[in-house]
Amino acid sequence: MAEDSSKLHIAMFPWLAFGHMIPYLELAKLIAQKGHTISFISTPRNIDRLPKLPPSLSSSIHLVKLPLPQVENLPENAEATIDVPYEKVPYLKKALDGLEDPMAKFLETSSPDWLLFDFLPYWLPPLAHNLRIPTAMFSIFIAACVAQIKPTDIQDDREKPEDFTRPPKWIPFPTTIAFRLFEITKIFDAITGQGDTHPSDLYRAEKSLQLCDAIVVRSCWELETDFLNLLTELHNKPVIPTGQLPPVVVAYNNEDDDHDEATWKPIKKWLDKQETGTVVYVAFGSEANPNQEEVREIALGLELSGLPFFWVLRSSSTIELPLPDGFEDRTKGRGVVWKTWAPQVKILAHESVGGFLSHGGWSSVVEAITFQRPLILLTFLADQGWNARFLEERKMGYVIPRNDNDGSFSQDSVAESLRLVVLEEAGQVYRENVKKMKGVFGDPELQDRYVDQLLNFLVTNKNILLSPKPIGN
């Protein structure tokens, strides 16, 4: 392997959030299938919680455990964002920064051909360059989101939350992609560093983009030609899309091959009884926690809609929020409230599902569109607001109307939005547009070509730092 110059050893270092680690792992598997070696780096507890690797790839993907340094105010055994409330995530970032020396030692002893890293450890490119290792910032956010980050030679005049409710001045074409006021208010301190969270997320992302040799983005030309071209112009370095990294569904109707048969069997039995295209699947990911009022309005909206629903109601906190009195009795048979892990890909693949009420995290978006399920969007954190605007612009998702200042919404707006997208004539555009995009999101051959193009770039440019003018300078 080492003597074959076309075979790569790629180190990957995602942010300590499963919404980041899983897309990194999906890309790692696609690369390993083509004969390359991956060192997938995270903390011990995170590595232990990752999905099991296929036996055929276990010798090609090396799971590297770097113990997370202890940081004051970070709970014991907290190694991922799912382990802490939102207000403690800054301490997780501080702990991440404490991995600089262990990362240096790993890179020095393993000498990978490339390092693919997430946007937060901005200190990694200089460290890798000292060891003559080229770096690519791999963004699990789409290109439209990365374009919100300031390029090196442009002054950013955004100071107040209101400034982030408009697209930044360096995007030259018309777009509505910006935060709504309630979305940016919730994360303003983390993004700008105006609380005690220095260095800010924007600073980290700006430095990562400035110092890396190439930008790798979870995107595709068929969806984001304009933003991918813009990133190349703004940062004056190669921008390589990975494709959408859709889920691989293996025998989702075949319980014999299914490790979670006991979980899937009763869910499938219930879904099989429902009419095609009528069920609303409701799930907000592992970290978007609706508050008590939001849970109430979602529940009553589901009830008011009259549609069958399957609601995965899990919380990353230890507090379980009560449902409205009598709700489960009144909706018994028509609706299911599921309070543990559920196989989302298999549920979305089931023909009874007619719409997905989602937080707008991009992995969930990819899964929905892969199976042609239109989206009804209720955002909570991070890039979800940008994603919602993007999907709204392209009429692939419908955003539940909310109060712009506090994000509140009503049971009526939930019910009306669900019926619009799943049943009504006015919602046909959303149903049709996700069908049109199935070939972009769910085509294995297209995805394979994107991985080939990425690998071709990495192989061709693995000695990038040895050239007189390294890319990115």
Domain spans of the chain, in order of start? 9-246+443-466, 255-441
Strand, helix or coil for residue 175: coil
| Reduced DSSP (H G I as helix, E B as strand, rest coil) percent helix, strand, coil of the chain, to 5 | 45, 10, 45
pLDDT of residue 317: 53
Q: Which residues contact 459 (CB under 8 A, 6 or more apart)?
A: 5, 6, 8
Class of domain 9-246+443-466: alpha beta
- Below-70 pLDDT ranges, the chain: 1-5, 194-197, 248-259, 315-319, 465-473
448-470 in b/e form (b: 16+ CB < 10 A) is eebbeebbebbeebbebbeeeee
**Residue 469, pLDDT score:** 43
Chain Cα centroid distance, residue 144: 13
At 392, phi and psi to the nearest 5?
-65, -45
Rounded Cα–Cα distance for residues 89 and 106 (Å): 25
**Contact 137/117 with Cβ under 8 angstroms?**
yes
**Per-residue tokens: 47:** 């590595």
Tell me what pLDDT residue 246 has: 87
Torsion of CA 47, 51, 52, 55, to 10 degrees: -120
Helix (H, G, I), strand (E, B) or coil at 260: coil
Q: 280 near 308, Cβ under 8 Å?
A: yes
pLDDT at position 285 is: 82
d(CA 308, CA 336): 8
Residues with Cβ within 8 Å of 77's Cβ and at least 6 positions away in sequence, in order, are 45, 83
CA dist 276 to 110, 251, 273, 308, 350, Å? 52, 20, 9, 11, 9
Q: Within a 13 Å sphere around the CA of 64, how many CA atoms are in the beta-carbon half?
A: 21
255-441 has the same fold as 9-246+443-466: yes
CA distance 297 to 350: 26
> What is the per-residue pLDDT for 252?
33
Q: What is the pLDDT of residue 171?
A: 94
Contacts of 134 (CB under 8 A, 6+ apart): 113, 114, 115, 128, 213, 214, 461, 462, 464, 465, 470
What is the DSSP code string of 22-65?
A: HHHHHHHHHHHTTT-EEEEEE-HHHHHHSPPPPGGGTTTEEEEE
Q: 210 — phi, psi (to 5°)?
A: -70, -40
> How is domain 255-441 classified at the CATH fold level?
Rossmann fold (3.40.50)
